[in-house]
Structure 1
Amino acid sequence: MTTKIRAIAPALIALACLAVAACSGGGEGEHAAEGEHAAPTSSSAGLPSGNVSAGEQLASTKGEATGQSCVDCHGSEGNAPIDATYPKLGGQYADYLGHALQQYRNGQRDHALMSSQARNLTDQQIADLAAYFSSRESQLRDLHGVH
């Protein structure tokens, strides 16, 4: 039996290498500027590629609906919310942020401020915001060990 395993081992290793290469993205997409994290090149939310710089600018732009910007409530780089019930956004997965903003925009999630803030966002704006906040340093913590 070990002879059979030795015979197929090279093929299994090659297959594993191909799988890892396929999942890693293979270096596709544009490179971020120095000091800036790369935006994701695809989205499970069906969004276009996000632009970190455009997202940063948009995060500080006052929304027409509420007169507030993202950073007014979620804090600088999404890591200092003004209320403990508001989530930290910095370092969160771009796809999660994209899905959440789409759901606020489409009425699938209901929050007085977020629903009105997201209502007029385009897919590109959502992708840009998601790219920006996901590129920030994460201060997210899991609840492991919390009692």
Structure 2
Amino acid sequence: MVFELILNRCPMSQSRLSFVIFVLRQTALNGVLALGLTLSGSLAVMAGGDIQAGLEASKTCAACHGADGNSGVPMFPSIAGQGAGYIAEQLHAFRDGNRVNVLMSPQAKALTDTQITDLAAYFAAQKRVVKTASTDDSIPGAHLWKFGGHANTIAACAACHGAQGQGNQPAGFPALRGLTSQYVLESLMAYRNNERKTEHADIMVSIASKLSDDDMHDLAKHVATFP
């Protein structure tokens, strides 16, 4: 493609080049989606799920993630308003063993494909509520988020997850606002340890492998400040 030919002549690492090409492809894809689809906040139509059926199936999820997907427990993520496609992908990963968690794996193994689609539609339709944004920000974390780092070998997190962690649902990048620093830190470490093998995990595995422990702590602190 034209932008690949241009970028191949730019002085940047191969990993950085590959990632930039990926983001540009996703941007182009978003433009096509915008022309052909009317996107709702829930993406329930795209997911093809039944929100009411998802509500019924969500009863067992409430103890950890909250009845409407807004968790009140730091170790469990809020999933309200998350992209339906991303939720479904994670549930499939838990069910199929590509992502392992002592609590989620057994729950997901009992789900049918239809139930996964319905649950994804239900939680995507809920409004995410940031109950208490942290005021303990990290300047290095904010810089990594906005601009990337390590001599341009780490892409800016905002490029995919948005300036305020709102995510990019059409491209499949999850929202991170409303997540606790504890959960974000654990997630980054899991990616660095290659413990998540979901369909698009390779992007985060590559990025996390370049982050130091301090980088991860700084990013986690910054994400927790998003309103």
TM > 0.5: yes
Is 1:136 the equivalent of 2:139?
no
Change (3 A) 1:93 1:85: same
Higher relative contact order (CA 8 A, sep 6+): 1
Paired residues of 1:38 and 1:52 also in contact (CA < 8 A): no
TM-score (norm 1): 0.62
Structure 1 pair 26–75 and aligned structure 2 pair: CA distance change class (3 A):
closer
Query: Whose Rg is larger?
Result: 1
- Counterparts of 1:45-124 in structure 2, within 5 Å, are 49-60=48-59, 69-81=60-72, 83-124=73-114
Q: 1:107 to 1:136 in 2, by over 3 A?
A: same
Is contact 2:87–2:120 with CA below 8 Å preserved after alignment? Answer: yes
Distance 1:141 1:105, change over 3 A: same
> Unpaired segments of 5 or more residues in structure 1?
1-18, 43-48, 61-68
Equivalenced residues, count: 106
TM-score normalized with structure 2 length = 0.41
The answer to which structure has the higher helix fraction is 2
- The residue identity in structure 1 corresponding to 2:63 is D
Query: What do residues 115-144 of structure 1 show as CA deviations (whole Å, max 9, x unaligned)?
Result: 000002111100100000000001243745
Identity between Structure 1 and Structure 2 (%):
34
Over aligned residues, Cα RMSD in angstroms? 2.7
